[in-house]
């Protein structure tokens, strides 16, 4: 027969129960942390795509010769795999801004092709390029 007079420590069963209770309490915290990190990663990719489109907008503006009224410029980015399209056109006649002469509509579309999912993001900007006034000849 065993002598069980030493009661100073925990039984194995008690230690296992304490560890399982702590595990049950920590599990929701880990799930919430993983969810928060996933959301941060998504927002980070969206912000990276925004900076990529802004940089492409500036590159496309540099590529324009003179000051055209219409212009299209295409590009690709390898990391992340993205197709970029810049278009410059006059403001559509259906727009409320069509009454402003010389206002041009710029648009950059980023088509993300990673993971075989096609996700499109775009930014829009306006440029004011007044039409040169014709000098009137005084007769």
- Pairing between β-strand 103-112 and β-strand 82-90 as defined by DSSP bridges: antiparallel
Listed in sequence order, the residues at least 6 apart from 91 whose beta carbon sits closer than 8 Å to its beta carbon are 97, 98, 100, 103, 104, 105, 126
pLDDT tens digits for 14-68? Answer: 889 999 999 999 999 999 999 999 999 999 988 998 999 999 999 999 998 888 8
Residue owning tokens 């230690």: 15
Domain ranges, ordered by start, for the chain? 14-128
pLDDT tens digits for 76-110? Answer: 888 778 899 999 999 988 988 888 888 999 999 99
């Amino acid at each position: 027969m065993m002598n069980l007079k030493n009661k100073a420590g925990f039984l194995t069963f008690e230690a296992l129960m304490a560890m399982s209770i702590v595990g049950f309490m920590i599990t929701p915290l880990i799930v919430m942390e993983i969810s928060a990190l996933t959301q941060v990663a998504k927002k980070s990719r969206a912000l990276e795509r925004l900076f990529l489109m802004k940089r492409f907008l500036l590159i496309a503006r540099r590529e324009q010769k003179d000051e055209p009224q219409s212009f299209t410029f295409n590009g690709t980015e390898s990391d992340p795999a993205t197709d970029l399209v810049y278009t410059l056109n006059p403001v559509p006649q259906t727009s409320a801004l069509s009454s402003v002469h010389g206002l041009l509509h710029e648009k950059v579309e980023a088509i993300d092709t990673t993971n075989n999912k096609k996700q499109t993001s775009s930014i829009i900007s306006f440029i004011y390029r007044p039409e040169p006034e014709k000098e009137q000849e005084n007769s």
